[in-house]
Amino acid sequence: MTNKSSPGKKAEETEKPTLVQKFSIPLGASIEDVRRAIRILSDSGGQARMGEIGTSFGTKPSDRTQIGWALNAAVAFGLIKPHRKGTPYILSDDGKKFLGLTEDQQRAMLSPKFLGFEGYKKILVALKNSQDRSLKKQAITDMWLQVRDNVKLGTRRYYTTTFASVGAWCGAITDTGQTCSLTPEGESALTQILKGEEVKPTAPSRKPTEGAPPRLPTELSFQATNCPLCGKTEFDIENEELLNTVSADGTNVLIIKYTFYCRGCRGTFSRIGQHTIKAD
Q: State pLDDT tens for residues 53-64.
A: 766 666 676 677
Q: Are residues 73 and 27 in the same domain?
A: yes
Return the sign of the alpha-carbon dihedral for residues 50, 51, 55, 59.
positive
Whole-prediction pTM value?
0.65
Q: What is the mean pLDDT of residues 267-278?
A: 72
For 115, counting Cβ atoms within 10 Å of its Cβ (0-12 exposed, 13-18 middle, 19+ buried), the class is buried
Residue 39 maps to a domain? yes
Residue 267 maps to a domain? yes
Residue whose C-alpha is closest to residue 110's, from 128, 126, 97: 97
Q: Are residues 115 and 180 in the same domain?
A: yes
Check residue 130 and report its DSSP letter.
Answer: S
Helix (H, G, I), strand (E, B) or coil at 182: strand
| Exposure string over 31-54, b if 16+ CB within 10 A, otherwise e | bebbbbbbbbbbbbebebebeebb
Q: Are residues 181 and 230 in the same domain?
A: no
Q: Are residues 147 and 165 in the same domain?
A: yes
Q: Are residues 247 and 274 in the same domain?
A: yes
- Which of residues 203, 227, 243 is at a domain's end? 203
Q: Are residues 153 and 222 in the same domain?
A: no
Residue 278 maps to a domain? yes
> Percent of the chain at pLDDT above 70?
68
Q: How many domains does the chain have?
A: 3
Residue 28 maps to a domain? yes
Residue 158 belongs to a domain with what CATH number? Answer: 1.10.10
pLDDT given for residue 267 in this prediction:
72
pLDDT at residue 260 tops 70: yes
Q: Are residues 198 and 105 in the same domain?
A: yes
Residue 210 maps to a domain? no
The contacts of residue 277 (CB under 8 Å, 6+ apart) are 213, 216, 218, 251, 252, 253, 254
Q: State pLDDT tens for residues 134-153.
A: 999 888 988 887 777 655 55
Q: Are residues 87 and 118 in the same domain?
A: no
- Which of residues 179, 203, 227 is at a domain's end? 203
Residue 2 maps to a domain? no
**Of 27 and 244, more confident:** 27
Q: State pLDDT tens for residues 169-224.
A: 999 999 988 899 999 999 999 999 999 988 876 544 433 333 433 333 334 444 45
pLDDT at residue 23 tops 70: no
First-to-last CA distance in the chain?
Answer: 90
- What is the rounded distance in angstroms from the CA atom of residue 71 to the CA atom of residue 57? 12
Q: Are residues 181 and 144 in the same domain?
A: yes
Q: Are residues 139 and 187 in the same domain?
A: yes
Residue 121 maps to a domain? yes
Sheet with 268-278, edge to edge strand ranges: 235-248, 251-262, 268-278
- Which of residues 80, 100, 120 is at a domain's end? 100
Domain range enclosing 55 = 20-100
Residue 9 maps to a domain? no
Cβ atoms within 10 A of the Cβ of 243, count?
Answer: 12
Q: What is the mean pLDDT of residues 152-166?
A: 76
Residue 95 belongs to a domain with what CATH number? Answer: 1.10.10.10
Q: State pLDDT tens for residues 186-201.
A: 999 999 999 998 887 6
Q: Are residues 91 and 108 in the same domain?
A: no
Q: Are residues 116 and 157 in the same domain?
A: yes
For residue 128, the surrounding DSSP H or E stretch is helix 121-129
pLDDT given for residue 78 in this prediction:
94
